[in-house]
Chain A
Amino acid sequence: MRNTTKTFVASVGMGICAISYAIGANSAAGTSFSLGALNTTSGSANPTVGVDTGASSSSSSSAQPSSSGSATSKSTSSQSAKPSTSSTAKPSSSSTASAASKKKKTTKKTTSTGSSSAPTPAPTHTSSSAPTPKPSTSTPPPSSTTVTKTGAVFNDNDRWGDYAQVSVTKTNGKVTAVNVVSSYATSQWQSAYPYLAQLAVASNGAPVAALSGATYASAAFNGALASAMSKF
């Protein structure tokens, strides 16, 4: 190549790289997923430690991830007539509402957790994803139909041991909230789940695109999401 062309190509190339770096840096701070930087962007949707853990649930909380999918979903299906069914991982219904049913559930749950294969790797992060009250769906239950279903723990035995379990809340047939009930991913990848949950609400429960850098967490999340959606 002649020198003039070389200089030209080099400067154009460096220019393009610089511009794309700037755009990339901006978008990383803004919309797209970035490891670690996430807690700020997704703070609101970040499931906080459950308010719901009353006396009954705290007794059950010894069994770690407080809900195990199949059991709860069964119980909800039996109560499907009710507009706002309650599950442990459930938001809206005032926690006082059905103490009895809750109790029923918790007992069921404990039995089931005994039998079902609870996530073995003693997740260190589950604390952040305990059963939670929902942020947005504090909508009045009577007028609209709000249904929350919790899927099974999804663990595809990938090499990192990532797994997830989510509960999905639908109001009038539209997904209004997705909560991560229990999950595991190595250190900083854990922060992908809340973000994935946001994406899932946006996608109305459809599988979300894998996050760059969090392939396995995304896979686990999508599996769990599919499981929860199939319960409706």
Chain B
Amino acid sequence: MTANMRFTEPNKKVRLGFRKIIKVQRGQDFVEALAWLSVVAVVSMFLLDGNLAQIKLDDATTWLNAISRLTALVATDILLIHMLLVARVPWIDRLYGHDRATLTHKKLGKPILYLVIAHFLASLISYAISAKTTIVNEFFTLLLHSGRDLLWSILALALMIVVVVSSINIARKRLSYEAWYLVHLLSYFSVALAVPHQFSTGTDIAGKWPQTFFWVTLYLFVVCNIAWFRFLAPIVGSIYHGFKVVETASESSDATSIYIGGRNLKRVGGKAGQFYILRVMTAKEWWRAHPFSLSAAPNENFIRFTIGKRGDDTSLLQLIKPGTRIILEGPYGVFTEDRRTREKVTLIAAGIGAPPIRALAESMAARPGDINIIYRVRNESDAPLVEELKELSRRRGFKLTLLEGSRGNPKSWMPAHPENLPDHARLSLIAPWVSESDVFICGPAPWTKTVEKSLLRAGTPSHQIHAEEFAW
């Protein structure tokens, strides 16, 4: 077994120190400032038109109009940012990582809907007042007599409500991923349907060149980013490289490694610790994409993922046949050596969280003794990649600690201890310099949380703790 293990040469050097983190923070600041300033720009264009100065307190329609237009403008701006966040744009990913971008995307969903609803109600009420009818009447007038653009925009609002409702946590738990995904695709239609009325009925854009320029630029920027990074780049890249499964290997009773080959793998890029979104091109499976971390450092011979059996699709993937075409999107994520600031490193994995840890252990620049690997397994003889980790530690002089067995108490992330020593104390015993090291954690989300807690208790500063959640 150890004979045919293929290891890639580790990185020769790495830049340490906090300065590169500051650089990342500056980048984040810049992007966030840009995002906020786009909102400011929208508001100030609205104000420059004198829209606020025109409000007369005794005339409800004037301020309802102002509310309606301002909420619409701000909502559109945030909506475009919201879409950009999941366009898998490299510069966003490099600064924030896929998980934080997706989380922010999730957080923005509801506020946008509220703004759009406010816009809808304000216009409806103001129209109803000026037409001197009831709101219900006015709604039907809008539906029936106001022309195509407004009808579409009402449909867009309905779709948007469906999308947001399907994405709130309660609904998300009851819906299958596929159902949610299909509903979520509607959001593209929703946005597209709402566009015409912004330019035709909307009085803040039509005929005003700075506004037209701003919005057209913003729309084009977002649309191009989504079209290229989300759709075209993965397809073009996968066709260029011709990704195919070349080999599969069973790693444990419930995990399989898939080796993917193709042309010019050197140019794929990617770093240990990153993940790809994998799309298996078979008749049934092509529309379902799955994120998997590299389980071996990037090299020019193969791309390897190690996939645990966790659900329907991952069970099917265990049986994938060599020769199957694959589309890879990625690489994504900031769970890499780029975020390392210290000489010492502690890698902590649990179960099927091992692949990225295995890849990091293989590729990180380190001297013997620099890296401490903690691998939490249920059963050593049936843990994925454990042999490879052992061999890696032997060759490179790392310390590997296997924590085997069932949990001592429900709040612990370690197996039972005869003297009931708390986790952070045991952690300090296993990895004495844990407070001065960068810690990379990969495992199930609740487990990761408890590990982070005991790390903080052991004295590791939070900016040295790296964990990536698969946020979907």
Contact = CB atoms under 8 A, between A and B. Distances in A.
**Interface SS of chain B: helix, strand, loop or mixed?**
helix
B324 interface: no
B44 A9 contact: no
Contact of B51 (A9, A13, A24): A24
B45 A28 contact: no
Given A17-B43, A24-B53, A25-B52, A212 B33 contact: no
B282 to A, nearest CB: 44
Contact of A5 (B33, B45, B47, B201): B33
B88 to A, nearest CB: 22
Contact of A212 (B32, B49, B130): B49
Interface in A12-39: 12-13, 16-17, 19-21, 23-29, 32, 34-37
Given A5-B33, A17-B47, A212-B203, A25 B53 contact: yes
Nearest to A215: B203
B382 interface: no
B50 A25 contact: yes
A36 B56 contact: yes
Contacts of B44: 16-17, 19-20
Contacts, number: 99
Given A159-B141, A186-B130, A34 B50 contact: yes
A98 interface: no
A202 interface: no
B251 interface: no
Contacts of A187: 130
Interface centre among B53, B59, B201, B204 (most CB of A within 10 A): B53
Given A17-B44, A210-B203, A29 B53 contact: yes
A20 B36 CA distance: 16
A9 B53 contact: no
A16 B36 CA distance: 12
The 6 A-B pairs at the shortest CB distance, nearest first, are namely A28-B50, A25-B53, A20-B44, A24-B50, A13-B40, A20-B47
B379 interface: no
Given A159-B145, A188-B59, A210-B203, A24 B37 contact: no
Interface of B: 25, 28-29, 32-33, 36-37, 39-41, 43-45, 47-54, 56, 59, 61-62, 65, 130-131, 141-142, 145-147, 201, 203-204, 206-208
Nearest to A27: B50
A26 B48 CA distance: 9
A1 interface: yes
A34 B203 CA distance: 13
Contacts of B53: 21, 24-25, 28-29, 34
Nearest to B31: A1
Contacts of A37: 54
A160 B32 contact: no
Contacts of B207: 209-210
24 contacts: A1-B28, A2-B25, A5-B29, A12-B37, A16-B40, A20-B44, A24-B47, A24-B51, A25-B50, A26-B50, A27-B48, A27-B50, A28-B49, A29-B50, A34-B50, A35-B62, A36-B56, A159-B142, A160-B130, A189-B130, A209-B207, A212-B49, A212-B204, A213-B54
B37 A9 contact: yes
Interface centre among A13, A20, A186 (most CB of B within 10 A): A20
Contacts of B59: 36, 188
Contacts of A34: 50, 53-54
